[in-house]
Amino acid sequence: CGVFGVIGVADAANFVALGLHALQHRGQEAGGIVSYDPVQGFNSARRFGYVRDNFTKADVMSTLPGELAIGHVRYSTAGSKGATAIRDVQPFFGEFSMGGAAIAHNGNLTNAAALRKELIERGSIFQSSSDSECIIHLMARSIQTNISERIKDALRRVEGAFSVVAMTRTKLIGVRDAHGVRPLVLGRVGDSGWALSSETCGLDIIGAEFVREIEPGEMVVIEGNKVLSTRPFTPAPSRFCIFEQVYFSRPDSILGGRSVYETRRQIGVELAKESPVDADLVCPVPDSGTPAAIGFSQESGIPYAMGIIRNQYMGRTFIEPTESIRNMGVRLKLNVNRALIKGKRVILVDDSVVRGTTSRKIKDMILEAGAAEVHFRIASPPTAWPCFYGVDTPERSKLLAATMTEDEMRDWIGVDSLKFISLDGLYRAAGVEAGRDPKAPKFCDACFSGEYPITPSDKIAEGFEM
Ligand code: 5GP
Ligand code: SF4
Ligand code: MG
């Protein structure tokens, strides 16, 4: 998901709509905005579909007045199976004795099922099926007398990954979990305003100046011109999601002081060094494989070409929640550039192999177009473990790499060769020269390594074995 907030500018909701539009790649199912105005109070709009189709029209935007607003773009993750109901669309709102508050959450809470059960037994009335709603109910039960303290209380009880953007009548609040699994950045809007965004690309679109990242375990409370920073949680090692670097974030964003595009290009360079192959063309599987394919071509000297053309009017395939739509998705989105491919030995670069359905279909299309050889190079290590921290991966049994060796995967996909970047190569590409330190890895890489930095306690209670 993507979260965004703005304080201190007229018509803040318009800025939030733009920010969410820039973060649309983080969630395409639905979006919502809450605003506050001293005369009109809190208002909200939650809609299915793209930001541009919902939050550009005067009839919606005129209902969201005020100089303070937050928003959320949603894609459903492991915690919330099946179709999204409008009641699952964030931000969530709560009315407390000291006033209202709204929250928007990116990430996944790993003890939400246990908390929900406990809260319901003690009288909380849940409105949605979302893990994030626990935060509101925990806030309601806190004995603190101001809302930011209640948010702290609530977030000290949850486990898992969270980058939260919240608002009261006067404050914009940003929090990252102790490991800093999901991103969150702070920006300056003109002389009077501030913005919080999942990624820096959300600041760019509104012309905000990037100030800094919210640090792992940090909470900022912004009121007027002041940004107050505190550390509400027990300190923990920073474990930013390495898959944000590979796939999830936009390539024009800056993460950890480093360009995402450059990291991805460097992944391609590492891949070409680790797993070279003689061929005529390097082609990306667009768009997610593009920077790595450029790096692969630069390092290997094999020409880069657009062997697969993407229909710009389709979103990210995997974000569609059902298997059947996902299966159709590849063909709806990608087509082979036949004239280029015919008779050629082609290296295809993609970001990841999850179920393997994408790779297999692309191989079919490429061979049908007359390619002489097909070699897959993948910009991440084999995805062998599900993510419980906010990226939608299927259960282990559906992950190709959980059930097959690399050679078996190559034969199942049906290509001449298949190679994944090593975990060390990925760390080097992400700026960690020495590669992955097995005793203290700099990133979360659980979907590749199986080493979960935060115990997925709900999943373990359901029978998941680490
Ligand atoms: P597959 O077809 O192997 O299940 O999915 C791989 C494709 O989905 C890749 O082209 C990639 O761009 C996209 N994808 C990337 N990350 C994920 C993820 O976490 N889950 C899923 N299901 N697909 C992803
Ligand atoms: Fe990111 Fe993978 Fe960790 Fe999930 S398990 S937070 S996708 S690195
Ligand atoms: Mg892809």
Residue from 445, 449, 454 whose mutation best tests the ligand 2 pocket (most atoms within 8 A of CB): 445
Q: SS3 for 312?
A: coil
Question: Does residue 283 have an active-site annotation?
Answer: no
Ligand nearest to the CA of 314: 3
Q: Judge whether 2-238 and 259-461 match in fold.
A: no
The least confident of 95-109, 153-167, 325-339, 441-455 is 325-339
Q: What is the pLDDT of residues 12-50, one digit of tens each?
A: 999 999 999 999 999 989 999 999 999 999 999 999 999
Residue bearing the CA closest to ligand 1, atom 11: 352
Q: What is the ipTM of this complex?
A: 0.92
Distance (Å, rounded) from C-alpha 454 to C-alpha 312?
37
pTM equals: 0.95
Average pLDDT over every residue of 73-81: 68
Of all ligands present, the nearest one to the C-alpha of 357 is 1
Q: Which CATH number fits domain 2-238: 2.40.160.40, 3.60.20.10, 3.30.565.10, 3.20.20.150?
A: 3.60.20.10
177 lines ligand 2 (CB under 6 A): no
Pocket lining for ligand 1, CB < 6 angstroms: 247, 285, 288, 318, 350-359, 391-393
Beta bridge partners of 5: 70, 196
Terminal-residue alpha carbon distance, the chain = 25
Tell me, rounded to whole angstroms, the distance of Cα 266 from its chain centroid: 21
Beta bridge partner(s), residue 196: 5, 186
CB of 447 closer than 6 angstroms to any ligand 2 atom? yes
d(CA 458, CA 281): 46
Q: What separation in Å is there between the alpha carbon of 394 and the centre of ligand 2?
A: 13
> Tell me: the pLDDT tens digits for 355-402?
998 999 999 999 999 999 999 999 999 999 999 999 988 999 999 999
Domain over 259-461 is classified CATH 3.40.50.2020: yes
Residue spans of the domains in the chain: they are 2-238, 259-461
411 touches 346 (CB < 8 A): no
- The single residue of 1, 134, 201, 283 carrying the catalytic annotation is 1
Among residues 165, 264, 253, 179, which one has the least CA distance to residue 215? Answer: 179
> Which amino acid would we find at residue 174?
G
Ligand 1 atom closest to residue 350's alpha carbon, by position in its atom list: 10
Phi-psi region of 180 (alpha: psi -120 to 50; beta: other; left: phi over 0): left
Q: Is 426 in the pocket of ligand 2 (CB under 6 A)?
A: no
Q: Would you list the DSSP string of 2-65? A: EEEEEESSTTHHHHHHHHHHHTGGG--SEEEEEEEETTTEEEEEEEES-HHHHSSSHHHHTTS-
Q: What spacing in Å lies between the alpha carbon of 362 and ligand 3's midpoint?
A: 11
What is the tens place of the pLDDT at every residue in 203-250? 999 999 999 999 999 999 999 999 999 999 999 999 999 999 999 999
Identify the residue whose tokens are 């390539």.
251
Backbone φ, ψ for residue 68 (5° rounding) = -140, 125
Ligand nearest to the CA of 325: 1
